[in-house]
Structure 1
Amino acid sequence: MSLFSIKRKYLASMFSKENVIGMGIGKKVSSNKRTGEDSIIVLVSRKKPRDQLSPHSLVPQTVDGVKTDVIEVGEIKALPKPKMTAKSAVNHTSKWRPAVGGISIGHKDITAGTLGSIVYKDGEPYILSNNHVLANSNAASIGDPVLQPAPYDGGKMDEQIATLHSYVPITFGVSGTSCPYAHTAEDIMNLITKLIKPNYEWELKKLNDGVNYVDCALAKPLYPGLLNNLILEVGVIKGTAQAFIGMKVRKSGRTTGYTKGEVLVLDTTVTVDYGFGKAAVFENQIIAGAMSRGGDSGSLVLDENNNAVGLLFAGSDEVTILNPIEHVTSALGISLTL
C-alpha cells in the first residue's frame, strides 16, 4: 500500500485524537535531523507527554508498518492580520506604481495581505493573491475595489489599483451555530459541567461538508500599465515546479519581506483557523518551515530557480502552509508567464 493510501486510511482516526490538526507525508525526524525514512506526519497544535494523554489520543508509533512522527505546529491560521514589518532594503508596504509581487494589497474591507504575482488569463494581466486577501473570505462582491497599499498600510480609495475579478469560494468546515436545539444542548451541558469543572464550558460547532484545495483569487487592474511582472527581491517567474521534501523555497511578502524555507510535509490535510469561529479543512497542501507572519498571505513561493511552487495562505510560528501552484492555476484558469 502506498504512503498516500495509508495516510487516507488512517485520516479520520487521527483527526479524532486530541490536538491533531493535520496529517501528511514526510521524512522521519530524529534528534532534530530529518532522516531518509518515509513517515506519516501527524501535526498537533500542542505536544503532550504520552502519560498525559488518554489511550484513544495516543498516536500509534507505526501504521501498516510505516513509522509516524508527531510534530507540534501551534495553531494554524490564515494570515490576514498584519504584524510589524521586518527590516528590508525595500519598502513592501508603500504605494508601488507599477505594482509588483511581494507588496501590500487588499480588498477595501480587510487589513492587509500580499500581492503574489502578476498572472495571465486569456492573454490579459491580473493580480494573484488569496481569497481572504482580495475577496474578504467570500464576503466580497465581484467588482469590489482592491487597494494598493492595503487599508492597514494607509491605502484609501484613491489608491485603488484593481477590482475583484474572481475567486474560489472557501468551504468552511467548522463554524458557530444559530440552531436553537444546539444552544439548548449547550446550556444543559454547561449546567452539568459547572458542578464538576467550574472553569470549563462547552461550545457546539456546526460541521459543514466539503474540503478545500486553494485559497486564491484574481483582481483585474484598472489598466494594464499599473502592473509589472517582477517579484520584489526575487525577480521574474521562470515557470512552475512540483514540491518535494527538502526543496529549498523562498518568497517575498508584505510583512517579512524576503525569506527562505524548506518543504517539510506533502499531501497534507490540515484544519486552518480563519477567525470569527470559522475554520476550513484543506487537502493536498504543502508545509514548509516558518517563513511568514500575518500579512504575508498571498505571497508566491518559488524554488531557487524562480519556479513557482505554491501560494502561501496560512501558517503558525512553526510552519507555513501553501496551496500547490498546480491547484491554483487550474482553479483560476491562469498561467504565470505569457
Structure 2
Amino acid sequence: MMSELKINLSDNRKDKPASDKLGFGKYFTDHMFIMDYTDENGWHDARIVPYGPIALDPSAMVLHYGQEVFEGMKAYRTPQEEIVMFRPDMNLQRLNNSCERMSMPQVDTQFVLEAIAKLVEIDQEWIPDGEENALYIRPFMIATEPALGVRASKEYKFMVILSPVGAYYPEGIHPVSIYVEQQFVRAVRGGTGEVKTSGNYASGIKAQEVAKTKGFSQVLWLDGKEHKYIEEVGSMNVFFKVNGEIITPALTGSILPGVTRDSVITLLQDWGYPVIERVISVEELFEASAQGLLEEAFGTGTAAVISPIGSLSLGDLNIEISGGKTGELSQRLYDTITALQRGQLEDSHNWAFKVK
C-alpha cells in the first residue's frame, strides 16, 4: 500500500520553537499528509507535501453543514531513541466510527497508520525534548464538495498535521478547578456526543468562556435531558474515586469513548481496583464529598493524559477534592501512562506502535 504514497519534501524548513515555550497547538511541522475522495474514485492521490494552506471552494459543504471528524494522537522518543505512538490503532478505529455516524467514507486504517508513521519519521526532528512534551498528531476529514443542500458530500479531503506540544493545561499535572455547567448542553443520546466531530466542541466554547471568566479551568458537562447526570469534563473523560471504588460515567451514547479512558480502566483493573461504569449524578457526588467519601477525581485524555481535579463548583456550592492536591492514584496513573508512552516501562498490553 505504501507504494501508493507520493512524497514531496519541503525545500524551506522552518525554525523549531524552544521546548519550554511550546504551549499546545501553536506550531506546526514542515510537512502534512493529504488524500482525496470522490464517490467515483474512492480514496486516491495520497501524498506527503510541505505544510501550507489548502484551496477550498466557498461552497465546500464542510463550511455550511459541518461534516467533519478528527482525532488526536501523540508520538514520543524513547530513551533507546526509538519513535513510538500510543495505541494509534484504537484512534483510527474511532475515526472510522465517527465517519460512520457522520455519513463520511471510512479509511483503510492500516494504510493511514503507515502514512502517519512515514510523516512522523520525516518530521522526527520536531519531536520535542521534555517530560511533558510530545509531537501531537491531528488527523481530520472534511467535506469538500462545492454544493449547497443538506445531504452527505460526495467529495472529501483527509489530512494529517503535526504539532510539537507541551502540557495542555498550564497547571500540568497539578489539580484544576472545574465548573459544573447547568445551563448549556454538550450532547444528547442519539446525537453526536460519542463521535469526535467539531460541532461537539463548538457547542461547548460558550460555556468554557463563561467558566474561565469565573476563574475555572474547564466545565463539567451534565446530561442534556435531566441536567443531573455527569458526562465528561471539557475535552476529557472523568473518573471519581469514592470510598475505594473507581466510578466513571458509562458510555451511553453521548460520551466520547476515550483511548486514555480505556487505558486507565485496564490499568486500574490490573492493579486490583474495582472500576464501575455507570450513571452518576452530580448530587450523588456532592453528597459523597459531604460524607468524606470522595477521595479523588481526575480527567483523562490524549492532550492532558491525566488531569487531577482539585475542586468542583456547582452554583454557590464548592467542594475541595483530595485537599486540592494531586491524589496518589492520579499521580500513579500519570506516571505509568507517560512511562508506557515513552518506552520506560514494560509494555505488557502492546500499546506502543513503533514508528522507527
Greater helix proportion: 2
Same topology, TM > 0.5: no
TM-score band by shorter chain is under 0.3
- TM-score w.r.t. length of structure 2: 0.21
- TM-score w.r.t. length of structure 1: 0.22
